[in-house]
Amino acid sequence: MACAVGLGANSERVLRCATEVAEKLQANLSIIHAIHAIERGLPIPLDLEEGVRSMAPQAARNRLDEMQRMLGSRARVQIVAGPIKDAVTEAARRLQADILVVGRSAQPGGRERLRDLTYAIVRDAPCPVLSV
DSSP string, 45-66: -HHHHHHHHHHHHHHHHHHHHH
First to last CA, the chain: 15
Given this model, what pLDDT does residue 54 score?
56
> Which residues, 6+ apart, have CB-to-CB distance to 132 below 8 Å?
13, 14, 17, 18, 101, 102, 103, 104
Of 47 and 74, more confident: 74
Q: Has residue 63 got a pLDDT over 50?
A: yes
Q: What is the pLDDT of residues 7-41, one digit of tens each?
A: 988 999 999 999 999 999 999 999 999 998 754 44
Which pLDDT tens digit goes with each residue over 67-113? Answer: 999 999 999 999 999 999 999 999 999 999 999 999 986 555 544 44
Q: What is the pTM of this model?
A: 0.81
Q: What is the CATH number of domain 2-131?
A: 3.40.50.620
Give dist(CA 82, CA 89) in Å, integer. Answer: 11
pLDDT at 116: 83
For 98, phi then psi, to 5°, come to -90, -15
